[in-house]
Amino acid sequence: GAGVSQSPRYKVAKRGQDVALRCDPISGHVSLFWYQQALGQGPEFLTYFQNEAQLDKSGLPSDRFFAERPEGSVSTLKIQRTQQEDSAVYLCASSLARGALNTGELFFGEGSRLTVL
């Protein structure tokens, strides 16, 4: 597709369940980012991939959060044993070159809204 595609758009999970969120970036985009956006807040950085390499995972809130991009294109964010505080919109973004600053522009998906009951 022409833009960043995320699925599912909405996910309701019971506390303790595992969830997987998928991101399909723009074709050819080297860099891929995950952000978490809580209600009424700005997006917060989770992790960054350059091709298949995860270069920065400093924003992942706990070891329950895991992200991968095995072939340098599609990425999956996995949350194990979900808790209520994990409820948020998870945003994926991609950019053509390494690092956001080479172009200064990230292309965002519409996000996956996770609700943990």
Please give the residue ranges that form the binding site for other proteins (CB under 8 A). 3-4, 31, 33, 35, 40-45, 48, 55-56, 59, 91, 93, 95, 98-102, 104-106, 108-111
Is the distance from CB of 75 to CB of 90 less than 8 angstroms? no
Pick the closer one to other proteins by CB: 82 or 90: 90
DSSP letter (8 states) at residue 31: E
Rounded to the nearest whole angstrom, what is the least distance from the CB of residue 85 to other proteins in the complex?
A: 18
Residue 3, token pair as written in the block:
């833009």
Rounded to the nearest whole angstrom, what is the least distance from the CB of residue 44 to other proteins in the complex?
A: 7
Residue 17's alpha-carbon distances to 34, 53, 81, 82, 117, in angstroms, are 21, 27, 5, 5, 10
Rounded to the nearest whole angstrom, what is the least distance from the CB of residue 35 to other proteins in the complex?
A: 8
Q: Give CA 51 to chain center in angstroms.
A: 14
The DSSP H or E segment spanning 110 is none
Pick the closer one to other proteins by CB: 37 or 87: 37
Pick the closer one to other proteins by CB: 27 or 58: 58
